[in-house]
Amino acid sequence: MTVAYSYLLFIVLGIFLFCYFIATRVWIKVDEKNKKLDPDKGSKNRRDFLYLSSITVGGVGVAAFMWPFLKSMNPAEDTLALGTTEVDLSNISIGQSITVKWRGRPVFIRRRTQEEITEANSVEVASLRDPMEDKDRVQQEEWLVMEGVCTHLGCVPLGQKMSDTKGEYNGWFCPCHGSHYDTSGRVRKGPAPDNLPIPPYKFISDTKIIIG
C-alpha cells in the first residue's frame, strides 16, 4: 500500500511539473510578445507570473509537507492484516465446531449436520424475537459462521464442545443469564435481544474462508 501511494505521489507531481513547465514556456512567449507591443503591460505580466510561481511553489511545498501526515493516517499493513482471519475448514468434521479469534472476539464455526440444518429451516420465522431465516445467515447451509458473543451482556455462550450444555434448542446456551440460541444462532429464549451476529466473511476455496 505504501509503495502504491508513493507511485501515485510521483505521478501526480510529475504531471503537475510537466503542466507547469508547458504553462511557463507559453507565458514567457506571450510576455515577450506583449513586451514588444506594450512595455508596461509586459512588466505587469511578469509580476503576475512571479505571483503565480510563488503560489505554485508554495502549494507544492505544502503538499510535500502534508503527505507524511496524510499517509500516517492510513492503517499500517500489519494492522490491516489483523483485521482479517483466514480459517482452514478441511479438518472440521460434520457436527464439529471450532472457535477462532477475529479482532479479539471469538468466532464460532460449525459444520452442521443435516438434522441441524433441517431443524433451523423448520422454525416459524415470524415467531422469533429477531426474525431471520436460516438461509440469510449462512453462505453455505452446512457452514455456520457467527460471533460467539451473547447479545445481552457480551458473555461467551456454551455449545462449542460436545460436553457443553446446548440449551433447549440444541444450539448454544449463555450461562450468564440464560439466553438460548438455536442451530442457526438465533435467540429463542432469555434476555438476549438479538441473534448472534454474523461477521463479514467469504469463501476463498471449498475449504477456506477469510473473516473480515
**The one-letter amino acid at 164:** D
**The one-letter amino acid at 190:** G
Give the C-alpha separation, 151 to 193, whole Å: 6
Q: Are 195 and 137 in contact (CB under 8 A)?
A: yes
Give the C-alpha separation, 209 to 7, whole Å: 32
Torsional class of 197: left (φ above 0), alpha (ψ -120 to 50), beta (otherwise): beta
Which of 41, 129, 161, 177 does the annotation list as catalytic?
A: 177
The residues near 89 (Cβ < 8 Å, ≥ 6 apart) are 109, 111, 143, 207, 208, 209
**Which three cell numbers, joined as nine digits, stand for 199?**
461477521
- Burial of 50-87, coded b for 16+ CB within 10 Å and e otherwise, reads eeeeeeeeeeeeeeeeeeeeeeeeeeeeeeeeeeebeb
**Which three cell numbers, joined as nine digits, stand for 122?**
423448520
Active site residue 152: no
Q: List residues with catalytic annotation.
A: 177
